Amino acid sequence: MRSIFAAKIGRKHRMSVAFNVKHPALFNVESFKSPQEFCLKLLQKYGIATPRVVVEIGGSVGANAHQMFPDSDYANLDLADSDKVKTIVCDVTKGIPLEPNSVDLLYSNDAFEHISKPWLAAQNIEKILRPGGVVFIGTLFAWRYHPVPGDYWRYTHQGLVELFDELECLEANFNAFHRREDARGHWGSKRDHVPVDMLGGWRENWKVYYLGRKPLA
């Protein structure tokens, strides 16, 4: 771990323009149901052109980014193949078999909490983004345990900024849309089950998002 942290410290940091890193916007959070629609709004907000090459991490079920950009050159990255969408089987922590500087948009929602070594995944994502390319990450800050197949991490928006510290942060914040939902577990395996008491099940549900751009030079 020492070498990892030493490498991170030695890399050039770019401060976020979307929030004060020292004083997070805890009382100025976003609230949205659809991360796909919100991502499209962010791309428009920051003047990002319609991406031609789109890559998604963990899109085997929803293929969300493919639905957002149906005319794009799309590929899904996952640990297992899918018959629903074009999928490249790989472990994103060990490398992504795509050309460096080739991807316009990397989209991932509800997947980064399941990646065992997200700092390695972030480095590999940075490599495949073209200069000016963007990454959108939607993941969890507070959520019940739900292994698919593992459930390793929870993030703050500041944590995502640091994870992608070679990129320019365009925006990062909390998403409180699901905050007070009564989550009691719904899988047949009950591996996401939480004890139910007088207040219900899991009642503190927060998500976070991050939009970053690879510098042109």
Q: Tell me the CATH number at 123.
A: 3.40.50.150
Among residues 88, 30, 28, 16, the alpha carbon closest in space to that of 59 is found at: 88
pLDDT at 105 over 50: yes
Cβ contact 14:169 at 8 Å: yes
Domain that holds residue 103: 2-181+199-213
Instruction: Write the single-letter amino acid at 105.
Output: L
User: Which residues share a beta bridge with 175?
Assistant: 30, 207
Residue 190 lies in a domain: no
pLDDT tens, position by position, 6-23? 444 444 444 444 445 444
Give the pLDDT score at 1. 46
Residue 188 lies in a domain: no
Cβ contact 58:111 at 8 Å: yes
Query: pTM for the whole thing?
Result: 0.87
- Residue 106's SS3 state is strand
Query: What's the CA gap between 161 and 92, in Å, rounded?
Result: 19
Number of domains in the chain: 1
Give the pLDDT score at 129. 99
pLDDT tens, position by position, 171-203? 999 998 898 889 888 877 788 888 889 989 888
- Residue 78's SS3 state is strand
Residue 194 lies in a domain: no
pLDDT at 79 over 90: yes
pLDDT-based confidence at residue 40 (cuts at 50, 70, 90): very high
Give the pLDDT score at 15. 44
Residue 114 lies in a domain: yes
Cβ contact 109:67 at 8 Å: no
39: its two tokens: 């991502």
Residue 192 lies in a domain: no
Give the pLDDT score at 5. 40
Give the pLDDT score at 25. 53
pLDDT at 50 over 50: yes
Residue 9 lies in a domain: yes
Residue 60 lies in a domain: yes
Cβ contact 169:212 at 8 Å: yes
Residue 187 lies in a domain: no
Among residues of the chain, what percentage have pLDDT more than 70?
88
